[in-house]
Structures are given as C-alpha cells and as structure tokens.
C-alpha cells in the first residue's frame, strides 16, 4: 500500500509560543488542540494534505482563542478558518508584501 502524503508543517507560532504539530491516525476526524497546559496540535494523517493544512489552521485558531481568552465558538473558528484560508489563497500579493 502506498504511503499517504503528510503536510510539511511541523510547527506553528502564536506570538512567542511554538506549537508542535503531531501526525497520527486518530479515531475521530480531524485534529485536536491539546490546550494551554501542553500546547500540541494533533492532526489525523489519513486525510488529504489540503484538509490536514486546513485542520492545522483550524486548531491554531482554537489555540489563539484559548491563549487570548477570546472564547470563540466552534462556529466562529470554522468561519475564521474558511475566510482566512480564502483570504491568503486569493491575495498572494498582500501576503507576500507582509512577509517582507
Ligand atoms: Zn474546532
């Protein structure tokens, strides 16, 4: 059986906090944020890479909500996930300029 592809993202940074990304097969789809006591994001590695990356963004938004005490609902996080992913995808000039 061919090996599944895995996202190349190994960590995300939120402010000064480095959050490692762990990949493994999970019982429930699609990922989890472990919480402030042990900041790790775990991603179900049996999904397409695009879905893995969207899930990393989704779980990072949960982390931001926790870290800054924003109390975003699941609906808030899903809305931000979809709109931020589209914003980055549709505006490469802006994000390239922000990287300078
Ligand atoms: Zn969620």
CATH architecture of 11-98: 2-Layer Sandwich (3.30)
pLDDT tier for residue 93 given thresholds of 50, 70 and 90: very high
Ion ligand 1 contact residues with beta carbon within 5 A:
74, 77
Query: According to the model, what pLDDT value does residue 91 have?
Result: 98
Q: What pLDDT was estimated at residue 3?
A: 59
Distance 1 CA to ligand 1 centre (A): 31
- What's the chain's length in residues? 100
Where along the chain do its domains lie? 11-98
Cα of 24 to ligand 1 centre, how many Å?
18
- Distance of CA 31 from the midpoint of ligand 1 (Å): 8
85 alpha carbon to ligand 1 midpoint, in Å? 15
**Burial bucket for residue 41 (CB in 10 Å: 0-12, 13-18, 19+):** buried
Closest CA to 44 of 61, 23, 58, 64: 23
pLDDT digit string, tens, across residues 27-78: 888 999 999 999 999 999 999 999 999 999 999 999 999 999 999 999 999 9
Report if pTM > 0.75: yes
CA 9 / ligand 1 centre spacing (Å):
19
State the angle between helix axes of 49-67 and 74-90 in degrees (0 to 180), rounded to the nearest 10. 120
> Vertex 35, ends 34 and 41: CA angle to 5°?
40
């Amino acid at each position: 059986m061919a090996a599944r592809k895995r996202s190349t993202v190994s960590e995300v940074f939120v402010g000064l906090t480095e959050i490692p990304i762990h990949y493994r097969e999970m019982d429930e789809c699609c990922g989890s944020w472990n919480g402030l006591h042990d900041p790790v994001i775990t991603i179900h590695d049996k999904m397409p890479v695009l879905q893995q990356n969207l899930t990393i963004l989704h779980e990072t938004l949960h982390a931001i909500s926790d870290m800054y005490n924003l109390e975003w609902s699941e609906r808030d996080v899903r809305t931000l996930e979809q709109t931020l992913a589209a914003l980055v995808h549709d505006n490469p000039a802006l994000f390239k300029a922000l990287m300078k």
